Amino acid sequence: MGTPLYLSSLSCELRIIQAKNIEFKSSGGFFVRYYLSTENNKRVQLNSRLAISSKSNIIWNEVFSFGCLGPEESIDNLKKQTVVFELRWRNTVPVFGKVGKSQLVGRAEIPWKTVFESPNMEMETCVILVSKNSNVFELVSPPSLQIAMKVRVPAMVEIDKKRRNIA
């Protein structure tokens, strides 16, 4: 009989609630791009839906959930990583039949460690975005992004390395 390998199961939820203090100068829409770190220093890029609004607050209330199964050290590694949130603007009027690339409005990072150390491993916060470009939009005050993050560690699974049986 082989030495048992213990795997941890993990589920995460990211919720993009709203962006605040943004006003349009031209036609277009905003979306949130976020990057999740994986092992081997790779990143997964995800985009929210495009939101078009004439108000200074843009509401998404969009949820992204994912699950992981891996050795316990994978969870320890995740605690050292951050989630990068970018508020981006895209012109929705085609030029020469194509919609142009998006432009970075502002960026913020939240460490997973903060989520793991928060009560019930969940948090909701409003982060100030570091602005990169203001020629497309008018800033009422520094733009911010309201987000929520949640982590659940439901169970550990024992796998026999030799037989690969789940106990």
Per-residue pLDDT tens digits for 20-29: 888 766 677 8
In degrees, rounded to 5, the angle at the alpha carbon of residue 48 between the alpha carbons of residues 42 and 52 is: 145
Of the pLDDT bands very low, low, confident and very high (cuts 50, 70, 90), residue 167 is very low
| Whole-number pLDDT of residue 155 | 56
Residue ranges of domains in the chain, CATH in brackets: 4-160 (2.60.40.150)
For residue 131, is pLDDT > 50? yes
- The string of pLDDT tens digits covering residues 98-116 is 667 888 989 999 999 999 9
Cα distance between the two ends of the chain: 13
Of the pLDDT bands very low, low, confident and very high (cuts 50, 70, 90), residue 163 is very low
C-alpha 166/C-alpha 4 separation (Å) is 10
Rounded to two decimals, the pTM is 0.78
For residue 138, is pLDDT > 80? no
The better pLDDT of the pair 50, 165 is held by: 50
Q: Give 50's contacts (C-beta < 8 A, 6+ positions apart).
A: 29, 30, 31, 90, 92
- The string of pLDDT tens digits covering residues 32-91 is 999 988 767 788 899 999 887 767 788 999 999 988 777 777 778 888 889 999 999 887
